[in-house]
Amino acid sequence: MADETSLIQTHLAPLAAGEALGLADDAACLTPPPGHELVLTADAIVEGTHFLPGDDPADIAAKAIAVNLSDLTAKGATPLGYLLTLVFPQAPDDAWMRGFAAGLSARAHGKLFGGDMTVGGSVLSVSVTAIGAVPHDRMVRRSGARPGDILFVTGPLGTKLAGLMAATDPAWVVATGLSREDLDPLIAEYRAPPVPFADIYARIVRDHASAALDISDGLLIDLERLSAASGTGAVVEAEKLPLHRTVRALIDNGHLSLEATVTGGDDYVVLFSVPEHMAEAVIQAGGIARCHAIGKIVPSAQGVKILDGDGLPMAIGGRHGYDHFTGT
């Protein structure tokens, strides 16, 4: 079995940015682009919590990049590169590293700044610190939304939740009556979430948004976080939510609840608010990278609500999204 240095130089060094010094030194050296500030974010994904035991290493790598890239996009930042830490329960073999590197290359080739590899614990853990840049004083925070602003999301909701169910619950799969052709794309999106048009969405957020964050723990809980930071309420119309056609079929057939769709995690799309007079410009700016208007910001006294097809607040149980510390 290859040693650590050999694995790094064989599989990771070819992915390194120039600032990484060939992954042959103790640290990278980065100078921000002129007139820009750095934006830093970090997320870890852990086997059994964020990905399934036995998942393809290329998918694990793709997910590790996606969960961080969506954070940068929500800040309006252009990605510069990332640091990577791998904690293995036992030393990886060459084939695993080759697959993992292929996933990194597909999502972030030439942007690796460095990191660490070690052995410890009982499950695989992958931690990424992503670094982006925004023009000076242009990073979009959670705290800028104001009543009257229009709420947008950048992609479909509930897709990864349905994919997780399809990957782990054979009885549910049979009950749905759907074919593998219908369900396999959802499983693929859960295992390796795409973050399409990240550069376009980052520009739209940077140029138009008053507040933004990525949806990682569920639409409702992340909408509550944005509203709390901004000191506002929010109203979302369930009928305006973008849904994958298979997710919509599952809801229509009673195999997936709309409540689960708005409280499930792993969406990795951006939720952002825009002053009403700029809403049409957002729709036009996206083009093929479509932005979906789903509701509006309201005064805090009105609370945070998701309205059903009859215009009534949906009855949501105690779970408003995924909580990492309770595991629910």
Same domain, 115 and 198: no
Judged on CB neighbours under 10 Å (0-12, 13-18, 19+), 263 is buried
Distance spanning both ends of the chain, measured CA to CA: 39
Same domain, 119 and 155: no
- The answer, yes or no, to whether residue 1 has pLDDT greater than 80, is no
Q: Is residue 91 part of a domain?
A: yes
pLDDT, tens only, 164-219: 999 999 999 999 999 999 999 999 999 999 999 999 999 999 999 999 999 999 99
Q: Is residue 74 part of a domain?
A: yes
- The answer, yes or no, to whether residue 327 has pLDDT greater than 90, is no
Distance of alpha carbon 274 from alpha carbon 146, whole angstroms: 9
Q: Is residue 236 part of a domain?
A: yes
- The answer, yes or no, to whether residue 325 has pLDDT greater than 80, is no
Q: Is residue 320 part of a domain?
A: no
Q: Is residue 229 part of a domain?
A: yes
**Stretch 56-79: mean pLDDT, rounded?**
98
Q: Domain of 279: which CATH number?
A: 3.90.650.10
pLDDT at 177: 96
Same domain, 193 and 127: no
Q: Is residue 314 part of a domain?
A: no
Q: Domain of 41: which CATH number?
A: 3.30.1330.10
Same domain, 112 and 159: no
- The answer, yes or no, to whether residue 125 has pLDDT greater than 90, is yes
What residue numbers bound the domain in which 245 lies?
150-307
**Stretch 94-122: mean pLDDT, rounded?**
96
- The answer, yes or no, to whether residue 241 has pLDDT greater than 90, is yes
- The answer, yes or no, to whether residue 323 has pLDDT greater than 70, is no
310 pLDDT tier (thresholds 50, 70, 90): confident
Same domain, 23 and 111: yes
Same domain, 62 and 85: yes
What is the total count of domains within the chain?
Answer: 2
**Stretch 41-61: mean pLDDT, rounded?**
97
pTM as predicted: 0.94
Same domain, 13 and 120: yes
Backbone CA torsion sign across 177, 179, 182, 185: positive
Q: Is residue 126 part of a domain?
A: yes
Same domain, 104 and 251: no
Q: Is residue 141 part of a domain?
A: no
- The answer, yes or no, to whether residue 118 has pLDDT greater than 90, is yes
Distance of alpha carbon 83 from alpha carbon 101, whole angstroms: 14
Q: Select from 135, 160, 175 the last residue of a domain.
A: 135
Q: Return mean pLDDT, the chain.
A: 94
**Stretch 270-278: mean pLDDT, rounded?**
98
What are the respective helix, strand and coil percentages of the chain, to the nearest 5? Answer: 40, 25, 35
